[in-house]
Amino acid sequence: MIKNNKVKILITLMLSLLLTGCLSKHDTFETSVGSDTPPSRYNQVGVHDPSVVKGEDKIFIVGSHLASATTTDYVSWQLFGQGVQNGNPMIPEVQIDMKEALEWAETSTFWAGDIIQMKDGKYYFYYSVCEGSQPLAAIGYAVSDHVEGPYENKGIIMKSGRVGKLLTYEPDRLIQYDANIHPNAIDPTLFYDENELLWMVYGSYSGGIFLLKIDEDTKMPEAGQGYGTRITGGKHTRIENPYIIYDKDTAYYYFYASFGGLASGDGYQTRVGRSKDIEGPYLDSKGQDMDAIFDIAKPFFDDDAINPFGSKIMGDFEFINSSHKKMGHGYISPGGGSVIYDETLDKTMFVFHSRFPNRGEAHEVRTHEIYMSASGWPVVAPIRYSGANFTEMNTDISGQYQFIRNEMVIMGDISISTLLTIENGVANFNGEQAPITQDGNFVSFKLGNVNYEGVSLKQWDVRQQKMVKTITVQG
């Protein structure tokens, strides 16, 4: 996403399987605007599946394997704790306190969890444990007066993976567990709806992603819901790490999830759907109900079944230089993310982990801003957040861009940059020309059969050590 006096662009192509056969895409742009005072220095941490929450005086993330980190600016992170072992400051005696959950799941580690500050001012950590090769898992919760802990375990709220009485909030219900239709009890996220009612979205592979209403007095799901309402997935399709956030400006609920496998060659990526109703249906930008993925007649782990669904906002990419050589600059399997609206900054942040070209399974936390297009679809800033990002009204976006096209597939080649030129208000790509319309910081154009909408920005490019113009759009 760079340019030397040029512009950078990240475009995600989504191949729609609607009857119309149309294409849907997500694009971002960038151009140099000269040197400015550099932002805060980056400090990296490796927290897989980071879930973000604001504490008393810090921003806190917790991820898989009870890894956690803090920051005050989303730029410089400090590792706080790591490992499901006694002495972790979040839960100093975790192997003792969480013994019941760990034994049920036949594991020694934690998977993705979530922290929420409830109306009583306390912080609640909803954790998950899982055996891994099967959906033998449990979700429980713990409480603390401080975001970083120490947390006191309050016990398991649900289990999965075996036939039995699996729901603590419905103690008399016997469940004939079926992994094709019932969820894997992992990856919980807690959030408030527009009416300040509490919900939990959770699940992974197995029977899909589910939604439950939570009783804020008991901190448990309300009785009578069973495992809840399915949002998407099922039949072991590779969708996990769900996150829902309400946007009061657009009046939509946005459902984010990671598609694919988390390893560097498994195509992990982030997609989104939205709904006016908390319980769905959640539609992608092509108007498809994301729950239409489910088909009991289809085979297990069917990536072809999920390829067409969801609006893809982040996937594998790498840039090449002027000599057409790969630069090792890009993301591999970005996902496991969470989204937070920071009222102090008046910004929406997407905090996720990513692997990188030529670095194997090493991963680090990244933060990018999310903006809304004129039609209310999330678009992700092409460069990581530096503390210096801002929208720019009626910016001249002329220049030569590096152009990334991420196909709507789970497993495929890494998207490599090509060139797109914008001159005199017209975008030129592979012989196609597309007039660009600007309205304040909103940008729109049509390329092929696809209409794009997004916003223009300025961001700090750490490799060039200067501010650059960017545009991020989706169609």
Q: From the candidates 240, 284, 291, 318, which is the catalytic residue?
A: 240
Q: Are 246 and 191 in contact (CB under 8 A)?
A: yes
Establish whether 49 is a catalytic residue: yes
DSSP-assigned states of every residue in 141-200: EEEESSTT-PPEEEEEEEEESSSB--BTTSTT--B---TTTSPPS---EEEE-TTS-EEE
Closest CA to 49 of 220, 372, 268, 233: 268
Phi, psi for residue 177 in degrees, rounded to 5: -60, 130
How many alpha carbons lie under 13 Å from residue 318 in its C-beta half-sphere? 15
Q: Alpha-carbon Rg of the chain, whole angstroms?
A: 22
Spatial CB neighbours of 432, under 8 Å, sequence gap ≥ 6: 447, 448
Q: How far apart are CA 289 and CA 395, in angstroms?
A: 36
Closest CA to 186 of 254, 122, 262: 262
DSSP-assigned states of every residue in 100-122: HHHHHTT-SS-EEEEEEE-TTS-
Using alpha carbons only, give the angle 113, 116, 121 rounded to the nearest 5 degrees. Answer: 150
Q: From the candidates 30, 49, 284, 461, which is the catalytic residue?
A: 49
* Distance (Å) of CA 237 to CA 104, 162, 206, 293, 425: 24, 20, 7, 9, 43
Establish whether 114 is a catalytic residue: no
What residues are annotated to the active site?
Answer: 49, 240
